[in-house]
């Protein structure tokens, strides 16, 4: 530890709306030394064509406009020395705001990146929507393991795009789970869970705003418990939970027929 705080690496992917705020919140209770933009093939940035198939051109264009406007806000924020929006408009700006290194990595399981992490010798790695399954060699590096926040109440809604499936199944209660990462998807022991009412959510963007908020709070709580030695975990009973993959085109059509939207 440095200055009594855990030394932490953040693994995540491109996001200008929710994750930067959560990174900054986490930095209040630990020393984040590196923020990694994990540009794996499964990241949402590499699924634009699928997004158009799922949600249609208009909804994707609307989301594109939101993203463009957010990038403009990010440019203004950087021009103001991160005083206008406080580094909350991109993960790179968040890293700059907290004084952490920003690094782009396509494969966090490659030997080169693992050697890099071993040199840093972090106490903990935390993941916000990291798009790769982390393999045992990297999982074994940090002293306190790897914690991931998943936007659902595990063991239910493991897998991909829980915001889509919550809406698809007309759920009224959602939430987020911080769990230890293992070599299987959303399979590790559960550390902290927080629930939130999603009954008024009509689109995925609105729902993610709620689940990402409580997910960020849950991660802060988990980090604090790791630091003071009080973190307890319980088994993630995946045999009695549910798992969802990426939606099919037909499922996406049903989603839209129900009046559900991307944004």
- Give the model's pLDDT for residue 140: 96
| Cα 234 from Cα 141, distance rounded (Å) | 22
- Give the model's pLDDT for residue 184: 82
Evaluate if pTM is beyond 0.85: yes
- Give the model's pLDDT for residue 185: 84
Q: Other CB atoms closer than 10 Å to residue 230's CB: what's the count? A: 8
- Low-confidence residues of the chain: pLDDT under 70: 1-3, 42-47
Contact between residue 55 and residue 262 where contact means Cβ atoms under 8 Å apart = yes
| Cα 214 from Cα 132, distance rounded (Å) | 22
- Cβ-Cβ contacts under 8 Å for 213 (sequence gap 6 or more): 18, 196
Q: With residue 126 as reference, give the H or E element that holds it.
A: strand 124-128
User: What's 29-89 look like in SS3?
Assistant: CCEEEEEEEECCCCCHHHCHHHHHHHHHHHHHHHHHHHHHHHHHHHHHHHHCCCCCCCCCC
176 beta partners: 194
pLDDT digits (tens, 9 = 90+) for 87-124: 999 999 999 999 999 999 999 999 999 999 999 999 99
Question: What DSSP state is assigned to residue 1?
Answer: -
- Give the model's pLDDT for residue 136: 95
Structural domains present in the chain: 7-255 (3.40.50.170)
- Give the model's pLDDT for residue 44: 66
pLDDT digits (tens, 9 = 90+) for 82-95: 999 999 999 999 99
């Amino acid at each position: 530890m440095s200055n009594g705080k855990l030394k932490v690496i953040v693994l995540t992917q491109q996001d200008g709306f929710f994750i930067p705020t959560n990174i900054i919140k986490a930095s209040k209770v630990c020393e984040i030394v590196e923020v990694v933009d994990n540009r794996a093939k499964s990241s949402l940035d590499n699924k634009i064509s699928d997004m158009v198939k799922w949600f249609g051109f208009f909804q994707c264009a609307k989301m594109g406009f939101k993203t463009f406007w957010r990038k403009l806000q990010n440019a203004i924020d950087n021009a103001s020395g991160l005083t206008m929006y406080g580094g909350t408009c991109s993960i790179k700006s968040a890293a700059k705001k907290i004084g952490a290194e920003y690094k782009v990595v396509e494969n966090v399981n490659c030997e080169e990146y693992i050697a890099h992490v071993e040199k840093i010798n972090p106490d903990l790695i935390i993941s916000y929507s990291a798009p790769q399954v982390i393999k045992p060699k990297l999982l074994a590096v940090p002293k306190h393991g790897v914690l991931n926040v998943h936007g659902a109440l595990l063991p239910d809604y493991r897998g991909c795009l829980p915001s889509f499936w919550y809406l698809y199944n007309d759920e009224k209660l959602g939430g987020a789970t911080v769990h230890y990462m293992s070599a299987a998807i959303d399979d590790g022991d559960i550390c902290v869970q927080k629930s939130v009412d999603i009954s008024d959510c009509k689109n995925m963007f609105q729902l993610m705003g709620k689940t990402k908020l409580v997910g960020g709070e849950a991660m802060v709580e988990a980090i604090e418990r790791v630091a003071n030695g009080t973190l307890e975990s319980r088994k993630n009973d995946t045999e009695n939970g549910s798992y969802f993959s990426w939606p099919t085109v037909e499922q996406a059509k049903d989603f839209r027929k129900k009046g559900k939207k991307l944004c």
